[in-house]
Amino acid sequence: MPEISIVLVEPLYEGNVGFAARVMKNFGFTRLVLVNPCPLGDDAAMRASHARDVLDGARRMTTDEVYREFDFVVTTTGEVSKSVCTAMRMPYYTPAEVREIIADIDGTVAVLFGRENWGLANEELARANLICTIPTSEAYPILNLSHAVGILCYELANLPRGTYPLAGQVEMGSLYRHFDAFLDRIDHPDFKRENTMILLRRVLGRTKLTTREVSTLHGLMRRAEWHMENKD
């Protein structure tokens, strides 16, 4: 089954970190990662209650390290794109849909939650395999950080065992670089490049490619490149 870590990116309030650790343990999750958190003291420990072990065992990482280490990255956002032409926050999935997508992954999965005041930045979202949003009322759509963590943990609890190994970040990074170089070969317009690469990450990210499938896509592009070099 997927090995899921909850990642809090620059949380502002130690109480939210403590509550997040507590609700994680409620649903059986123990892997907490903190990216540049606020100072953690007595309030965090008190809010964590019987989940002090989760709080004390939290790893400190940078977002770059998260993207390098984890096989599959889910980012959460309350603000979504209104059109499929704007790829940054589109397509997006509910927590229940995320559960179905990652259920058969045999690898490491990180679920990122952003800052309480403005969430995750575009550059943090752009590299994600999947975008998740929690359906909320338009009258009051903003969730407390720990509540959002609780909803995701509830949906992702007790996932069935995975059935195949996922291509990791190294393999996927190599594939994205190959696609980027391929766009040069076909004279893809520069002004479309960033959006095209984000769309490719979204499409390929949610397909949960195996190492063999990544190798096949490399092979197809190399074959196309050979024909471009040897055309009459």
Residue-wise pLDDT for 10-66, tens only, equals: 999 999 999 999 999 999 999 999 999 999 999 999 999 999 999 999 999 999 999
Residue 173 lies in a domain: yes
Q: Is the pLDDT higher at 84 or at 187?
A: 187
Q: Are residues 216 and 176 in the same domain?
A: yes
| DSSP β-ladder status, 108-113 and 72-76 | parallel
- 3-state secondary structure at position 180: helix
Residue among 107, 91, 96, 118 at smallest CA distance from 9: 118
- 3-state secondary structure at position 215: helix
DSSP state of 133: -
How far CA 67 is from CA of 25, 52, 86, 168, 223, in Å, comes to 24, 26, 22, 10, 30
Q: Are residues 207 and 117 in the same domain?
A: no
Q: Which pLDDT tens digit goes with each residue over 134-143?
A: 998 888 888 9
Q: Are residues 33 and 127 in the same domain?
A: yes
Q: What is the pLDDT of residue 14?
A: 98
Helix residue ranges per DSSP H, the chain: 14-26, 42-48, 52-56, 63-69, 95-102, 122-125, 145-156, 169-185, 190-206, 211-229
Residue 136 lies in a domain: yes
Q: Are residues 223 and 141 in the same domain?
A: no
The residue type of 60 is R
Going by pLDDT thresholds of 50, 70 and 90, the confidence category of residue 193 is very high
Q: What is the mean pLDDT of residues 202-206?
A: 89
Residue 161 lies in a domain: no
Q: Are residues 45 and 133 in the same domain?
A: yes
Q: Are residues 135 and 72 in the same domain?
A: yes
Q: What is the pLDDT of residue 206?
A: 86
Q: Are residues 139 and 175 in the same domain?
A: no
| DSSP β-ladder status, 72-76 and 3-9 | unpaired
Distance separating the N- and C-terminal Cα atoms of the chain: 51
Q: How far apart are CA 79 and CA 168, in angstroms?
A: 28
**pLDDT over 90 at 219, yes or no:** yes
The phi, psi pair for 93, rounded to 5°, reads -130, 150
Both tokens of 16, joined, read: 């939210």
Q: Which pLDDT tens digit goes with each residue over 94-109?
A: 999 999 999 988 899 9
Q: Which pLDDT tens digit goes with each residue over 108-159?
A: 999 999 999 999 999 999 899 999 999 988 888 889 999 999 999 999 998 8
Domain limits for position 175 = 169-229
Domain count, the chain: 2
**pLDDT over 80 at 198, yes or no:** yes
Q: Which pLDDT tens digit goes with each residue over 62-86?
A: 999 999 999 999 999 986 545 444 5
The residue type of 127 is R
